[in-house]
Amino acid sequence: MTIRPYTAADKLACLDAFHSNMPQFFAPEELKDFDAWLDAQAQYNPDNKEECYFVIEVNGQVIGCGGYYVRADKTTAVMTWGMLHRQYHKQGWGQKLLLYRIDLIKTNCPACTILLDTTQHSAPFFTKMGFAVTKVTPDFYGPGLDRYDMELKN
């Protein structure tokens, strides 16, 4: 298993992971935003510790992706577009990718509060990982996909 910075060459694998999680975890309407966001990520300096995006590889194959950014006030870090290809769910890979990002945030921004938003379908995973729900917005991402705002509790 390898976790490394995202490159433009990873785009198709990340889009494939996204597709595999529709419509349960991502609304089809979000695909265009994710696609454009990946293009922007390919332009970032991989040494930038305030906005990072990574892929997780197993046996040389990209099986998922996820990142974070630190807000300008340097008090908050937000997890971004974390996902695994559906066939790799419930095998521990998502936990490894999440803990990798949390460790980087704690190293690079020790005072940062760590936030994320997700759906009701992924919220139980994040709860097991130490996050607590701070707000729920019904149908935020699309019909039947509620937004759960969550914060990592220390």
Is a pLDDT exceeding 90 seen at residue 47? no
> pLDDT tens digits for 2-31?
999 999 999 999 999 999 999 989 989 899
Inter-residue contact 130 to 144 (CB < 8 Å):
no
> What superfamily in CATH does domain 2-112 come from?
Gcn5-related N-acetyltransferase (GNAT) (3.40.630.30)
> pLDDT tens digits for 110-121?
999 999 999 999
Token pair for residue 95? 């936990």
pLDDT score, position 152: 98
3-state class (DSSP) for residue 130: coil
Q: Are strands 145-152 and 131-142 parallel, antiparallel or unpaired?
A: antiparallel
Report the pLDDT averaged over residues 78-92.
96
pLDDT score, position 78: 97
Is a pLDDT exceeding 90 seen at residue 45? no
In the chain, the DSSP E strands lie at 2-5, 51-58, 61-70, 76-84, 113-118, 131-142, 145-152
Amino acid letter for position 141 = Y
Is a pLDDT exceeding 90 seen at residue 48? no
